[in-house]
Chain A
Amino acid sequence: MTNAPTPTLAAAKQESGGALGFYGVWVLAAVALVVLPLIFSSGGSLTSFCLIGIAIIFALSYNILLGQTGLLSFGHAVQYGLGGFLAVHVMNAVANHNWPIPLPVIPLIGGIGGMAFALLVGWVMTKRAGTVFAMISLGIGELVASSSLILRSVFGGESGITTDRTSLMPMFGWTFGPQIQVYYLIAFWVLISAIAMYALTRTPLGRICNAVRDNPERVEFIGYDPHVVRYLAYMFAGFFAGIAGGLTAINFEIANSAYLGATQSGLVLFSAFIGGTAYFFGPILGAILVTYLQLGLTSVTSVWQLYFGVIFIGIVMFAPGGIAGILMKHRPLIRAGTLGTVIPSYLVAAIPTLAFALGIILTIETVARFSGGDVINLLGIPFVATAPTTWAAAAVLVVGGFLVARITWRRVAEAWDRAATVARDRGYLA
């Protein structure tokens, strides 16, 4: 025991410093959530913010499984959708009976719905991780999604079940009719849920989730049953997914079978992965990007899903750590002050990479619009889809961009190695 106080003291010091930064981040997030609609006050951006907020909760809940516990789920939308359906039914019941339950409580009901379903099916599902879990999650997802079309009284068939969020009792004079009031309701739940999910990672259970992710076999030899750990993680993920589903139900005033389906499950996997599952904030970035892309791309191209696929493949192949992984890779360089030596190589590499990307876009759009003979507007330049000159331009951009980009990225790697070596020598590992 003689030497114990020294490391303990050092640890305490480090953690108190971290705590200050910790609260700072959440206060900042709260302020940002309050201020955002005041800066971007158009109806369109408000709608986007609402969707992004919901996507953030959903993606973070997914990462309790994938990033924290190492469970790859293909059916996470089940909990989300069932949370949404339960929320709609409760809202209608509350309105019919004039129960004194205000709207802001409803997402909690959604969460309970998501958790209850996880409680029910989770024990069997989480017996094994890996492929077995992934396959069962896919099966359950399809099972519930298809039942939703058959069990009409509960799920309302193809049209779904509608509700009226303003029919609940008002709170502090708020009826939640105007979108701005819904925004603040969502923002409140985003903040609470994000803090709760972060806090969860800092509990004994949260730490053991990581241990189960890294090495479930060894966990059994330090007193834990990995099955119980996975089950608990699955329930928490279901709870927060249900909250997101409840908020969606409030936002759209409807719940339908699309909420439960494979597309929704795929989208959340996509968000978490693109954002980066290794860091808590990764899925937040992913949710923001994916929602924006979804909203932005659908208005400019009919094949927006194709772009999602291309981006996903690109991230998996070249940046498996996602956006958060790329950002965090730069941390030791920033700390060591060697980032400046890498930036010029980035700028050089950006030009051919951009040309390559434009070539890909032009190719995709040419193929997509060929039969219509439409005109593609790219950077203000009109390209006719049926013109051989357009095909030639696309080919030159793709091939030329790729060849030049390869050389420049090699330069980036070299500059990177030099900068990282210096950072390591200065003692910055991460």
Chain B
Amino acid sequence: MTAAIQVNAVEKSFGNVQIIRDLNLSVAKGERHAIIGPNGAGKSTTFNLISGHIKPTSGEIRLNGEVTSGLRPFEINRRGLSRSFQVTNVFARMTVWENVRCAVLWATGHRYAFWKNVDSLPEVKQRTAQILDDIHLSHRRDVPAGLLTYAEQRELEIGITIAGGASVIMLDEPTAGMSHAETERAVALIRRLTEGRTLVIVEHDMSVVFGLADRISVLVYGHIIASGTPEEIRGNPKVKEAYLGEEVD
């Protein structure tokens, strides 16, 4: 079976500084895959590379078997990959409803249409309402996204990410800055909404990682030192030495 995401020998340098070196990563379809690693290991850069935000210096990235390295983010998105951002990245002056609806429009085939009334597109309306319901923000639908609470914005961020119906979802630290109760809520939400899809998640909270992930990759200094099931990662001496040591046991 083709992997959902296949990263082959990718390198990324900014000037003389090599951030990512010989990165190899394979995420199977339907798998929940967590990427962990110390600060500055290149987790966000890996996300940016896979989603097309930045281009690799060398190497190749495939999405569902198709080469996507070198494509623009929207081209990769149209091929079925959607990502969220570590720093909330929503449409601040638009309402919650409009935020989600914008994320639904391309996927429902309306593209750049300027001859259709956006309010009278039944499937758009239904799907937007469904997503709002899923992320528990229906009661806030007419509030500008910039006025939401932090936790609500994080939920909206996830809502926008999943709204297009992408088969591969990448979440960059979705629970960062959340309280314990909010985190639990968010994890339940992620688990439910990514059912049947491929999930790649960067996360610092180890309880989230080990509770959610089928497989874990450990990234240290731009290189993946180990990939495996949570048990394998827990038992891996290299991982213990490099990163987890005191945190996992």
* Residues of chain A having any CB pair with chain B under 8 Å: 1, 3-4, 6-8, 11-12, 15, 199-200, 202-208, 210-211, 213-215, 217-225, 228-229, 232, 236, 278, 429
Contact = CB atoms under 8 A, between A and B. Distances in A.
B243 interface: no
Contact of A204 (B52, B92, B116): B116
B106 A215 contact: no
Given A207-B101, A214-B92, A223 B129 contact: no
B91 A7 contact: no
Interface string B126-144: 1001101100001001010
A221 B138 contact: no
By CB atoms of chain B within 10 A, which of A12, A15, A203 has the most? A203
Given A203-B114, A211-B94, A222 B103 contact: yes
Contacts, number: 120
Interface residues of B, number: 48
Contact of A228 (B112, B143, B160): B112
Contacts of A1: 130
B89 A217 contact: yes
Contacts of A213: 93
A206 B113 CA distance: 9
B74 interface: yes
B117 A203 contact: yes
A1 B121 CA distance: 17
A322 to B, nearest CB: 15
B72 A204 contact: no
For A199, A205, A214, A221, the residue with the greatest tally of chain B CB atoms inside 10 Å of its CB is A221
B141 to A, nearest CB: 7
B54 to A, nearest CB: 12
B107 interface: yes
Given A7-B141, A11-B129, 20 more contacts: A4-B130, A7-B132, A8-B125, A8-B126, A11-B97, A15-B119, A202-B118, A203-B117, A204-B111, A207-B118, A208-B112, A210-B98, A211-B102, A214-B91, A221-B51, A222-B102, A222-B105, A222-B106, A223-B107, A429-B143
A221 B82 contact: yes
B106 A223 contact: yes
B105 A220 contact: no
Contacts of A222: 74, 77, 82, 102-103, 105-106, 160, 163-164
A203 B116 contact: yes
Contacts of B83: 221
B198 to A, nearest CB: 16
A12 B119 CA distance: 9
Nearest to A214: B91
B189 interface: no
Contacts of B112: 204-205, 208, 224, 228-229, 232
B196 to A, nearest CB: 15
A236 B91 contact: no
B155 to A, nearest CB: 16
A215 B92 contact: yes
A208 B108 CA distance: 14
B185 interface: no
B195 to A, nearest CB: 14
Contacts of B73: 220-221
A207 B101 CA distance: 9
Contact of A205 (B93, B113, B160, B164): B113
Contact of B114 (A15, A200, A221): A200
24 contacts: A4-B129, A4-B130, A6-B138, A8-B126, A199-B117, A204-B110, A205-B114, A206-B114, A206-B118, A207-B101, A207-B118, A210-B98, A210-B102, A211-B102, A213-B93, A214-B93, A214-B94, A220-B77, A221-B51, A221-B77, A221-B82, A221-B161, A222-B160, A224-B74
